[in-house]
Amino acid sequence: YYLGTDHGKTNIFMNPAGLGLLSMQATCSLTTHRYDPNNLYQTPPIPIETIPIKDAFVSFLFGYQIMPSYYTIKQSLSNDTGSLRNWCLKASKDGKHWVDLQIHTNDTTLNKKK
């Protein structure tokens, strides 16, 4: 949202992918429910999902260097068995050497609320 509002300078949101500020890559095919993956940056976001394979990842590429102070991850919850449990937030300056910023292992915070 921050990028889509010109770094918070305007209340008008524009898709940062459409502005060339952000793009996304994935190690596996994306099931997009007939939508372009860049629609993830819409408000409200359009759901996407990766095919469940070992070491799958989704990478967000920024047009400039950033250092995130926080992030938000959201998933649709039809049941707890499909909840995201293990993920890492990583950073790289060159796309080859990666630094772990945050690691989640067996994390249940995204379970369906009862």
For residue range 53-107, list pLDDT tens digits in order: 777 777 888 877 888 887 777 776 655 566 778 888 888 888 889 899 999 998 8
pLDDT of 3-58, one tens digit each?
Answer: 888 888 888 888 887 778 888 777 766 555 544 556 666 666 666 666 777 777 77
**Quick one: DSSP state of residue 3?**
G
The model's pTM is 0.66
pLDDT at 103: 93
pLDDT at 109: 81
